């Protein structure tokens, strides 16, 4: 695997490659990320990964400085996945001057759910993803369903800017007890780690109540939130939304079998976890 630090080197390395499949990451790679690399290999060749902890998507009080950085271990893992190029720029390379031009997702998609609790987050994500796409020039790029809203926003951005890149959605990879894999899981204490799968269990309960035909979504969301609070969590939201646009379902949507998803974000101690589940009904 070639480790490339500059945009010029990256472009030279990928010159003439028309079928590149790209996986952007912030590093601290786990099995979930590696599954994205494998999926990328089914959608293009060569596979290019990036590692860049993107300051633009962190609020000042968030964990940018303590975000786990495990570069050598990450390289070893990517090498084993036959990644062709790892693009790992530093901040001066990707943001040589303040990044004043930004991509701002529409408020009805970017300022709800995660965007409500992390203002500016999706603008930071879109800006870096667009820039990385311009550097890599991928034919396909893989994003995990674990970050459901991010996937949807990146997909819309790609469509609206007519970027010549197919966005591939990868399934969420879970630990045996149901906890969705995330780089932030490593912040959990052993007691919190034992408690953490509750988030997935609560979403499954939401799914089974909605799938069972209970139409009172507000009560289902409130019960799920209360179950987390009772177990010591601080939930930001537990929501049932339409898969198509993440808007709350209307009464007609519920009877018309509109595809739905349930999404949650909650803090356990100092760690904020997110998860989601597409509702099968």
- DSSP one-letter string for 153-212: HHHHHHHHTT-S-EEEEEPPPB-TTSPBP-GGGGGS-HHHHHHTTHHHHHHHHHHHHHHT
CB of 25 to ligand PAF, least distance (A): 5
Per-residue x/- marks for ligand PAF, 40-59, CB under 6 A? --------------x--x--
CB of 272 to ligand PAF, least distance (A): 14
113 is a contact residue toward ligand PAF (CB under 6 A) = no
75 is a contact residue toward ligand PAF (CB under 6 A) = no
Q: Is 242 helix (H, G, I), strand (E, B) or coil?
A: strand
Q: Which is nearer to ligand PAF, 84 or 133 (CB)?
A: 133
Task: Name the E strands within the chain.
Answer: 2-4, 21-25, 47-51, 85-87, 140-144, 166-170, 234-242, 260-268, 271-279
Q: Which is nearer to ligand PAF, 128 or 210 (CB)?
A: 128
43 is catalytic: no
129 is a contact residue toward ligand PAF (CB under 6 A) = yes
* Residue 245 phi, psi dihedral angles, 5° rounding: -145, 5
Per-residue x/- marks for ligand PAF, 23-42, CB under 6 A? -xxx----------------
Residue positions annotated with a catalytic role:
33
Could you list the residues that contact ligand PAF (CB under 6 A)? 24-26, 54, 57, 125, 128-129, 147, 150
């Amino acid at each position: 695997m070639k480790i490339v630090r500059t945009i010029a080197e990256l472009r030279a390395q990928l010159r003439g490659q028309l079928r590149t499949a790209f996986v952007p990451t912030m590093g601290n790679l786990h099995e979930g990320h590696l599954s994205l690399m494998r999926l990328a290999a089914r959608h293009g060749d060569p596979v290019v990964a990036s590692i860049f902890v993107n300051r633009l998507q962190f609020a000042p009080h968030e964990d940018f400085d303590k975000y786990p950085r495990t570069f050598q271990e990450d390289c070893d893992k990517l090498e084993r996945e036959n990644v062709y190029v790892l693009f790992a720029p530093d901040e001066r390379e990707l943001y040589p001057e303040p990044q004043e031009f930004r991509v701002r997702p529409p408020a009805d998609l970017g300022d709800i759910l995660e965007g409500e609790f992390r203002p500016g987050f999706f603008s930071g994500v879109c800006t870096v993803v667009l820039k990385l796409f311009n550097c890599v020039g991928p034919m396909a790029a893989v994003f995990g369903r674990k970050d459901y809203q991010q996937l949807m926003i990146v997909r819309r951005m790609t469509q609206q800017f007519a970027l010549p890149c197919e966005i591939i959605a990868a399934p969420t990879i879970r630990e045996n007890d149901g906890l969705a894999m995330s780089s932030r899981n490593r912040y959990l204490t052993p007691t919190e780690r034992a408690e953490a799968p509750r988030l997935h269990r609560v979403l499954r309960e939401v799914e089974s109540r909605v799938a069972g035909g209970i139409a009172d979504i507000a009560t289902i969301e409130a019960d799920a939130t209360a179950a987390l609070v009772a177990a010591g969590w601080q939930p930001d939201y537990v929501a049932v939304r339409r898969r198509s646009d993440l808007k709350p379902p209307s009464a007609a949507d519920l009877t018309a079998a509109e595809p739905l998803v349930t999404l949650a974000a909650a803090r356990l101690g100092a760690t904020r976890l997110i998860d989601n589940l597409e509702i099968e009904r």
